[in-house]
A and B are shown apart, each in its own frame.
Chain A
Amino acid sequence: MQGWLSILIMIALGAGFALISVVLSSFLGPRKPTPEKLAPYECGMPPVGDARERQSVKFYLVAMIFLLFDIEIAFLYPWAMALRDLGWNGFAQVLLFIALLLAGYVYVWRKGALDWGGDQATARRRSTIGD
């Protein structure tokens, strides 16, 4: 249990610092409110419009597809660096990995998830995933 004491002290210090800062500033700080200061983002600019804007669900799709293929690249770099050590076995495994992602790529492509325009043909194809 010895090792845990320092963690406990750390937690107490962290919580204490936050608590004392908030309490002290609410007691000691001078308060001269103006409408600008009371605005949610106090940066000198009056806010324009509503923060809640509707985003097309397409962006989520694009973000997700980007993440997937981004991770693929992230996996390929270390493999490329260690290619000579891993040999043909490693090569085969990476080919398998790429084949799996290729299947996913063909799927999103044919489903129309990569067509970001709004023409009729893609809308028809996309209707099978977006509805």
Chain B
Amino acid sequence: MPPGISTSDFYYILPELVLTAGALVVLIADVLLPRERRSALSWVTLAAVGATLASLLPFTSTHVEVAHGLLAVDRFALFFKIVFLVAAAITVLMSVRYLAIEGASPGEYYFLILCATLGMMVMAGGIDLITIFIGLETMAVSFYILAGFIKPNQRSNEAAVKYFLLGAFSLGILLYGMSLMYGLSGTTNLRVMATSFGAMAGDSRLALAVILVVAGVGFKIAAVPFHMWAPDVYEGAPTPVTAFLSVGSKAASFAMLIRIFVEGLPSASEDWRLLFWVLSIATMTVGNFAAVTQTNVKRMLAYSSIAHAGYVLIGIVAGTSRGITATLVYLMVYSFMQLGAFAVVVMLRRADVVGDELKDFSGLASRNPFAAFAMLLFMLSLGGIPPTAGFMGKFWLFSAAIDAHYYWLALIGVLNSAVSLYYYIRIVVFMYVKKETLGSEPTTSPTLAVVLAVAVAATLVLGVYPQLLFNVAAASARTLGAAGATAALR
């Protein structure tokens, strides 16, 4: 084998290279452009994301391992890369007005958004613990800085410090688990690991490694009991960053979770299924019940996002290819509704109002009927009411659980959805029933309108006509893993 990576490897990582180049262009343009023309940076960022999306086109049916098994270019990675890039584009569109109101400099902000996206893409493609860890670090470090990006704001600083300290600690636990996996198998490649773990099912040392990795990954997806950071960080971070954190970071962590457990540890699947079963129920229940008492919408959406991680875990517990498909579908659907909901919170950020309290939503229906309707739709979708995409996503998750004979899990999931409707509908009540209005008119801008239109369209179209997404997700789930991993997908 020739040393280093070959020229064909460079071809396969073309999307990552394009994104890196785009991020560097943004960084350099920030310091070279005069201050008054820096608002153009958002368009440069969007162009970089668009170019990366376009560079994914040659790889729609590729299925190869590159750089001696460090990265996989397959449809599973492709699916997640599309989720990340779309989420990044929507986040950038949301940020234009928000950064102007907060008076933050856009250059480093967009650079860090692109870096975080790059890290996510590496995480989704990684089939080696080292690659996955580097992607995770690239993403996490970018988010640590982004969470504290509004420097004069104390809550933003608090969010950054909390996220950094807890994040570093959980990464330590994750690394310890990974080092045990390496020590037991003698390799960091997940697919080689799967075969060498084949004879080790039931080994207590392997179980220890599984527990540690579950704890580390559980932190990243904000599963109960590793969720304590999420409400504080989501509340304190700039709203577009919160949106990207709750969508991109979560989806990337689920991609990592599926890669590590389904591809690398199929032989320990009894262990991790049980762990995720417990985590899933705890996460759904605690997330939903905690969200009921919140009066701050960003905090409420944080707890709601915790609860949604619990729903998504149902698909992982089921572990069938149908379960993984449902997970992918739900993550895509969740991205649109969550980003849309945060876009409405961004609209309520005005020069005189922070706009993330529940009472700030009062009277929104009369002031901006379109935003109120969009929020209504996102809330219904998050709650899982037809004909929205959220309903189809939940339907598939629960049916995958029933399919795999996890009846209790599906039942608890359905009951939790009913609980969650209470706090989603409460926002709708504030928008449509309460009349007293606070502060100036909600911020409107063409970019925010585009965000809302895209999110509304996706939520409706995927709810009414979900077949296309299901087919794509099913095809992506099928490409997962080499020979060893398909055994886990019963």
Contacts and interface: CB of A to CB of B under 8 A. Distances in A.
Nearest to A100: B24
Contacts of A93: 4-5
Given A110-B32, A131-B151, A89 B4 contact: yes
B3 interface: yes
Contacts of A85: 3
Given A100-B24, A128-B105, A131-B151, A106 B31 contact: yes
B168 interface: no
Contacts of B3: 85-86
A75 to B, nearest CB: 13
Interface string B29-67: 011100000000000000000000000000000000000
B278 interface: no
Given A128-B105, A131-B151, A107 B7 contact: no
B31 A111 contact: yes
Contacts of A111: 31
B440 interface: no
A131 B30 CA distance: 17
A107 B5 contact: no
Contacts of B20: 100
A63 interface: no
A84 B90 CA distance: 47
Nearest to B24: A103
Contacts of B6: 89
A46 interface: no
A111 B151 CA distance: 18
Interface residues of B, number: 15
Given A128-B105, A131-B151, A103 B5 contact: no
Interface string A70-90: 000000000000000110011
A90 B31 contact: no
B28 interface: yes
Q: How large is the interface on A (under 10, 10 to 19, 20 to 34, 35 or more residues)?
A: 10 to 19
Contacts of A110: 31-32
Majority DSSP secondary structure for residues of A touching B: helix
A107 B4 contact: no
B133 to A, nearest CB: 19
B7 A89 contact: yes
A114 B329 CA distance: 49
Interface in B1-20: 2-7, 20
A103 B28 contact: yes
A103 B27 contact: yes
A92 to B, nearest CB: 8
Interface in A85-117: 85-86, 89-90, 93, 100, 103, 106-107, 110-111
A112 B10 CA distance: 34
Contacts of A89: 2, 4, 6-7
Contact of A107 (B2, B28, B105): B28
A79 B7 CA distance: 18
A90 B4 contact: yes
A26 B4 CA distance: 58
A110 B38 CA distance: 15
A110 B105 CA distance: 15
A93 B3 CA distance: 12
Contacts of A103: 24, 27-28
Interface in B365-400: none
Contacts of A107: 27-28, 30-31
Contacts of B31: 106-107, 110-111
A86 B4 contact: yes
B134 to A, nearest CB: 15
Contacts of B7: 89
Contacts of A131: 151
A50 to B, nearest CB: 27
Given A86-B4, A90-B4, A106 B151 contact: no
Among B20, B28, B31, residue most surrounded by chain A Cβ atoms (within 10 Å): B31
A107 B32 CA distance: 9
Given A128-B105, A131-B151, A106 B4 contact: no
A85 B30 CA distance: 39
Interface of A: 85-86, 89-90, 93, 100, 103, 106-107, 110-111, 128, 131
6 contacts: A86-B3, A90-B4, A93-B5, A103-B24, A107-B27, A111-B31
Given A90-B4, A93-B4, A103-B27, 16 more contacts: A86-B3, A86-B4, A89-B6, A89-B7, A93-B5, A100-B20, A100-B24, A103-B24, A106-B28, A107-B28, A107-B30, A107-B31, A110-B32, A111-B31, A128-B105, A131-B151
The 9 residue pairs across chains A and B that have the minimum distance between CB atoms: A110-B31, A103-B24, A107-B27, A106-B28, A107-B31, A103-B28, A111-B31, A90-B4, A89-B7
